[in-house]
Amino acid sequence: MTATALDRLLAKTTPGPNGCIIFTGSTIEGYGQIFVDGRRELVHRVAHLLLVGEVPEGLKVTHSCHQEDTACPGGKTCLHRRCINPAHLAVADQATASRGGRSRSGRNAAKTHCPQGHPYDAENTSRSKDGARNCRTCHRERARTWKAQARQRAVSREVELRETFAALYAAQQGFVTGVVLAEVRDRNFALAEDLTADAFIRAWKAWPACRATTDAQRKAWLRTIARHTVIDYYRVKRNTAETATDPTAWQYANQPVEQEGGCFSVRSGRHLTPA
């Protein structure tokens, strides 16, 4: 940067209150801006660099005149943002600058306790990814509250499921018995009662996922479960009967599957040779 930048900077100034030197050129977010070496720079940083000295890396230039003027509300209309008086310029890190400001972030940074009165000390403070402070005590209390509410909702849900299923059982027991009785062989009433109980056990296990809302939908849902219960009963009975009538079914149960010259069928005991 050359003296030309300083000349251009001073050419756009006017005296302000309390000794401020106000930049009258273009602004961004209330801060004056100027092009230096083809780059857009904030005028108070340029003024500090030309009139005071280099700004250390990681630090920012602040306006002491703004901190002293308690009547100034801050924000984009704040005249102190455009002040380039070197006596009013100071460098500070982001945390210090925020604590001294009167913006929302500045007011929050100046707080020493959370809204519930817990201290913002090293042990009780955590920071989110955006740098915001969080109270560990409040976080733990919220977590306990959420868990208690979740347990209460789970209990209420369980009670609701039991009550609605009890009403469903009372209303549809006869219907399910009729469906089962129509499917069983020889009109076996004792078997139909057992399979009806099995069907309702299956229905209870599937009840939390049931989306049927009308009486017709629930009947169709129960009819499907009842029919599958009967089908599964006869399938298991048939497979059991086939195994029991095969005299060699268990003779080779403990034999190795692989044998010299081929394989044995564990179920029938027959010797299987490769084709």
pTM, two decimals, is 0.47
Question: CA–CA separation, 218 vs 60, rounded Å?
Answer: 69
Per-residue pLDDT of the chain (275 residues; tens, 9 = 90+): 455 778 888 888 888 888 898 888 888 888 888 888 888 888 888 888 888 888 888 788 887 888 777 777 777 788 888 898 888 888 876 655 555 555 555 666 667 888 888 998 889 989 888 778 889 999 999 999 999 999 999 999 999 999 999 999 999 999 999 999 999 988 888 999 999 999 999 999 999 999 998 999 999 999 999 999 999 999 998 888 766 655 555 554 455 544 444 444 434 444 444 44
Torsion sign (Cα): 93, 97, 99, 104:
negative
Question: CA–CA separation, 263 vs 274, rounded Å?
Answer: 8
CA 209 to chain centre: 23
Cα radius of gyration (the chain): 41
What are the start-end ranges of the H helices in 125-213?
A: 136-183, 189-206
Question: CA–CA separation, 21 vs 8, rounded Å?
Answer: 14
Least Cα distance to 257 among 247, 249, 267, 248 occurs for: 267
Amino acid (1-letter code) at residue 216: A
Pairing assessment for the beta strands 271-272 and 262-264 based on DSSP bridges: antiparallel
3-state secondary structure of 105: helix
